[in-house]
Structure 1
């Protein structure tokens, strides 16, 4: 029997917004999201791609149809407002049924639909059936690194005014490469970024530019503002800066920051040069070499 665990709403948000070339929700064995509420509540509104679970004549939850539970990488359940495993609500009962067949932990969303939809109203829907093409074309939002405060994404997401509005972003850092740096004023004008606090960095280095970047993020996050860090592909440059921020703001080691960010975005990949700079920066800050970037998990 698989383990049953609670997860925070932002963890489900991040699962819904993973991508390779397209949304990972199009992968048949990636995520099974179960809505354990009454059918009438599910039909009124539910989290995007969620399936409503059925019960037998004895009131026992049934495994979802056409879903190979034992091959699913992520199993997530929610009801209206379950907040802990000790509550004997519909989410816990459904998770217990799923755990008998799942090979991976079954997660229950803390606070259920009420809390998730309050935080991410733009991920609610009435749509029940999706084609593969519709799943592949779903809008992908930046991942949430620190709940309600720090987000990380690609240049396209940073230029999407609807994403900035949905997430209530008030400040962001753009790690533009040299070929796009000259076009920065055009990009800024297109986005009407006079409404946002904007910080442009042409490259990452261990000197003043990185420190200005960290202080910029620190200042706005300490004020409760939501900050978005973007780079062209959203994998290398912004990942390196985000790792540096976690080391600076939360006093994480390089390994702790790497592990945290990898949980938020599985495709993040700072290049070896950036990792070397982060390792040297860690040595400078701590006075000792805490982590070896040539270990396999890096």
Structure 2
């Protein structure tokens, strides 16, 4: 049976608890210390080590105490296939990504690419798809149309025109930007991936400058093909999943592409 607590003073409390031959003593954190001295030995917990005062801290000690150990940044996937950290990297750091040989890094706005389940798109092909998604929204610039990214005999075709050769293809993209007041890509999804080909479903809403307030929403299948040098050789935009057929439609589509190349102002390429 526990003995009752005895209060010997306002700031020191002793609790007598029978534990065999041992006496457990609890001393308040506010126990009074005699002036000019320390607590008596009976009021201190026994210690096996001799207590010594630490030497005064120097300025260098304060500086070292304020140092913060570097932490490793969380590993996150990057859209253009960055390489993960390797064992040869310095502790607490992440190596710079290996340079991509596509030359499109930092020039593509469509970095978030939706993929059908089970598909993977990496490296150069991922950047090419992002660049084409930009072009389909009228976001054309000289960097995306550099000749090293496009084959000389590249082809672009949709329901309205069929551009053959890089000169006509270049003019087609700049012409799309010129005649449209706005192109809103509502959704897109990559549905097929092969070593040299990608197919996508795209839904765009077009607004013509010539017809203010008139909008046209189109669902299409877009195919991108690369040549042996990984340059874009063909982009096919099939509105509602198909292209016009027949020689007459072919004639007018070719005429539209040729006339566009003659009237559209295309920036010069170095």
TM class by smaller structure: under 0.3
Structure having the larger proportion of residues in strand: 2
Structure having the larger proportion of residues in helix: 1
More relative contact order, 1 or 2 (CA 8 Å, 6+ apart): 1
**TM-score of the aligned structures, taking structure 1 as reference length:** 0.19
Larger radius of gyration: 2
**TM-score of the aligned structures, taking structure 2 as reference length:** 0.20
